[in-house]
Amino acid sequence: MGAIVASLLTRVTSACRYQAFFSNEGRRMELLSSGCAVGIACTFSAPAGGVLYGIESTSKYFAVKNYWRAFFATTFSAIIFRLANALIIPPNTSGTITAYYQTNFPNEVFLVEEIPIFALIGVLSGLAGALFVYLHRQIAYFRQRNRVFQAIFGRKK
């Protein structure tokens, strides 16, 4: 919804005195990405997640100068949405913004007894990653030194 509003705003504002600013296709994509980020930020109350999703889903190239602009827009849109929700919906009927219905899930994410298992999984994953890097390096050295391999696949320039 935010991307639709941003797209419509670029078309409406092309008739005003800032026509050169909004007629640029790059600016239109920036506004589209920011509009998408604002929509996600309002829906899930996650400004940083909205910015990252907007960058990931709408653009191939995202200028660094637009990160703070998008974060500024998503933060204030999430704040305004939360304030509007608090003023419109009575306090006794609204739980959280993102919950569609009440759940009875426990608040504990893990048991304390599971921490050694998590540590073991972390150590094993780190060792597996180190083994992968070592094997990849050995394969790369083999490809560089082996004459048969170079004759078949050609030499890298």
What is the reported pLDDT for 121?
A: 98
More confident residue, 2 or 120: 120
Please tell me whether residues 69 and 134 are part of one structural domain. no
Q: What average pLDDT does the chain have? A: 80
Q: Is residue 8 part of a domain?
A: yes
What is the reported pLDDT for 19?
A: 65
Please tell me whether residues 59 and 122 are part of one structural domain. no
Query: Encoding tokens for residue 39?
Result: 């929509």
Q: Is residue 130 part of a domain?
A: yes
What is the reported pLDDT for 54?
A: 82
Q: Is residue 96 part of a domain?
A: no
Q: Tell me the pLDDT tens digit for each residue of 4-42.
A: 776 676 666 656 666 666 667 777 777 778 888 888 888
- Its domain, for residue 81, covers 2-88
Domains of the chain: total: 2
Q: Is residue 97 part of a domain?
A: no
Helix then strand then coil, % of the chain, to nearest 5:
75, 0, 25
129-49-106 Cα angle (round to 5): 80
Please tell me whether residues 9 and 68 are part of one structural domain. yes
Lowest average pLDDT, out of 16-20, 108-112, 145-149, goes to: 16-20
Q: Are 2 and 37 in contact (CB under 8 A)?
A: yes
Please tell me whether residues 29 and 77 are part of one structural domain. yes
Please say which residue of 88, 104, 122 terminates a domain.
Answer: 88
Q: Tell me the pLDDT tens digit for each residue of 69-105.
A: 888 888 888 888 888 877 877 666 655 555 566 777 7
Quick check: pTM over 0.85? no
Q: Is residue 100 part of a domain?
A: no
Q: Is residue 104 part of a domain?
A: no
Calpha distance 81→70 (Å, rounded): 16
Q: Are 29 and 66 in contact (CB under 8 A)?
A: no
Q: Are 63 and 42 in contact (CB under 8 A)?
A: no
Please tell me whether residues 81 and 135 are part of one structural domain. no
Query: Encoding tokens for residue 63?
Result: 């200028």
What backbone torsions phi and psi does residue 156 show, to the nearest 5 degrees? -75, 135
Please say which residue of 88, 103, 123 terminates a domain.
Answer: 88
CA distances from 145 to 113, 149, 154, 157 (A): 50, 8, 12, 14
What is the reported pLDDT for 129?
A: 97
Q: Is residue 94 part of a domain?
A: no
Q: Is residue 52 part of a domain?
A: yes
